[in-house]
Structure 1
């Protein structure tokens, strides 16, 4: 056994559960396929939602939703959600409601300002 094998055996493997599906997954294979910092849990949650229509337990997305057209997206982090909202507002000249997983919604105006509501 090499030191590398020992390090792999000792690593913590994240587990994701979904009460709606009645299942739990160890993400050992997902971690093996990603580079360090590859966000295996986030990628699994996105894939799970694409296949089932819902997110696993304890995962609530940021939702960016246009106030004037049917466009919108879901994100697992604030930064890309805010970037999408600013970009859509700027290019489409539409206000975008940014719904946080916990806390207050925010409105991104076409001029780049937020109204804080």
Structure 2
């Protein structure tokens, strides 16, 4: 069950921990500031990585890296990672390696999305 399955006054704030930092955070403020469905845990994880250079425990990103230029991004879900890879490949004609948090990576080539409607 996600934190947006409860009415605002009944939602319980999630807790995020980071072994590398030796800390744990209760996301009361984030849940209050980010509306239901706003993905408070994901936003916290992205902010944590921006400030520390690593993700909290149990968070592993999808990575899209261009095989030709220095462009690349990390995402917490497949859909935006794939969208970035397909868009970069389409606009630059560069192949992009899409690396899931676990499992085999794949290469998104220019034109791979041509048959999608």
Count, aligned residues: 107
* Equivalent residue, structure 1, for 2:16: 16
TM-score, with structure 2 as normaliser: 0.87
- Any idea what the Cα deviations from partners look like across 1:8-37, whole Å, max 9, x if unmatched? 664321000000000000001100001110
> What SS does the aligned partner of 1:63 have?
strand
- 1:36-51 alignment runs, 5 A limit: 36-51=36-51
- Any idea what the Cα deviations from partners look like across 1:59-90, whole Å, max 9, x if unmatched? 00000000000100000000000000000000
Runs of 5+ unmatched residues, structure 1: 1-6
Q: Distance in 1 between matches of 2:13 and 2:75?
A: 23
The root-mean-square deviation of aligned C-alpha atoms, in Å, is 1.3
Structure 1 consecutive aligned stretches of length 4 or more whose deviation exceeds 3 Å: 7-10
Please say which structure displays the higher CA radius of gyration: 1
Greater mean deviation of Cα atoms: 9-18 or 70-79: 9-18
Runs of 5+ unmatched residues, structure 2: 1-6
